Amino acid sequence: MIFRLGYVAMTLNLEKCSPSGTVTVTVFNKLPSEEARMYRLRKITRSNLENTLRILRYNQALNIKVYRFTSKLIPLATHPSIEHWDYVSDFKDEFREIGDFVKENNFRVSAHPDHYTLINSPDAKVIEDSIKDLDYHVKIYEAMGLEDYKYKLVMHVGGLYKQKKASIERFKENFVKLPERIRNRIILENDDKSYSALDVLGICKELNIPMVIDIHHHNCVNNGEKLEDLLPEVFDTWNNQEFVPKIHFSSPKSEKDFRSHADSIEFGEFEEFLKVARKVGRDFDTMLEAKNKDSALLKLSEELREVEWVNEINQAEFEITEG
């Protein structure tokens, strides 16, 4: 069993390296001319793309192969103010360079449209905007030349709207209507309030969608289901996929503020999870969601290296190499 670790969007260990620069709508609209507005958008976008490539190079140096792109690569991407802007053409080379680097170095990259993107809303306008946002994410992959559907978009089921069953049905109806190039990218994650791992597993099995189980969310919402019972079936949803199963892992900030993410990953909790995963015996990847981003990853990987049984099962896929 090999497992790898990844992190989300930004590194704490490179100076001035945000991939998520943006501009507020108010300020953007106050800029004096079309030229000024385009200049601002291009400047931010260039910086975001450059920083993304810097982060990937850094990841490569540390052999961190699992990474989630920020959703904010293009400022105001799906806002009506910039609908006319063809950012893909403007930054053709930059996108391509990122995608080439991903492919050359066998990264597993992903993206996670944020919680405003809901395909089970009863509101047609919300659905429309959500599809626009999904389309934006896929466009980014395509611009990078990451045409392979193995590069995924993680989503949640959506809102409850006081009727869980009907809301799940609406998810299914809208999901199957999505264009193929979007639909085949989507994978589903259990959330920390509404849809449990068991709920999501049911949807995933029915619609043949790979499932990402978020261990922390499972601890927030469940009806007594045991992780060890769920995990084999969750991993099975990946059987026809190129990449191995992926999970999300984070530690609660505190007992009182349980749902929030802590700065780091609590080692003991991760070790407990590994013991459950070992029983399943499959390779998998872990996306860590901690405030300390890659610093939390490096800390955890240090701690894991101290544990003999872990070293025996893992082939040091996340080993630090000097670079």
Partner DNA sequence: TCGTGTCAAGATCTT
Partner DNA sequence: AAGATCTTGACACGA
Instruction: Using DSSP bridges, classify how beta strands 211-214 and 3-8 pair: parallel, antiparallel or unpaired.
Output: unpaired
Question: Does 119 interact with DNA (rule: CB under 7 A)?
Answer: no
Amino acid present at 189: E
Question: Does 25 interact with DNA (rule: CB under 7 A)?
Answer: yes
Choice from 1, 14, 20, 244 touching DNA (CB under 7 A): 20
Note whether 75 and 25 are within 8 A (CB): no
Site string for DNA, 196-235 (x = CB under 7 A): ----------------------------------------
The pair of structure tokens assigned to 2 is 């090999």
**Minimum distance of DNA from residue 10's CB (angstroms):** 5
Note whether 296 and 10 are within 8 A (CB): no
Question: Does 194 interact with DNA (rule: CB under 7 A)?
Answer: yes
DSSP state letter for 110: E
Quick one: CA dihedral 59, 65, 66, 70, positive or negative? Answer: positive
The pair of structure tokens assigned to 138 is 């896929």
Choice from 92, 115, 177, 275 touching DNA (CB under 7 A): 115
- Which is closer to DNA, CB of 154 or CB of 231? 154
Site string for DNA, 58-97 (x = CB under 7 A): -------------xx--xxxxx------------------
With CB under 7 A as the rule, give the number of residues binding DNA.
Answer: 43
The pair of structure tokens assigned to 158 is 């959506």
Choice from 50, 129, 135, 236 touching DNA (CB under 7 A): 129
Quick one: CA dihedral 51, 52, 53, 58, positive or negative? Answer: positive
Task: From 255, 254, 248, select the one nearest 286 (Cα to Cα).
Answer: 248
**Minimum distance of DNA from residue 18's CB (angstroms):** 3
Give the N- to C-terminal CA distance of the chain in Å, as an integer: 27
Question: Does 295 interact with DNA (rule: CB under 7 A)?
Answer: no
In the complex, the residues that contact DNA under the rule CB under 7 A are 10, 18-28, 44, 71-72, 75-79, 114-116, 118, 121-123, 125-126, 129, 133, 158-162, 192, 194, 257, 259-261, 291
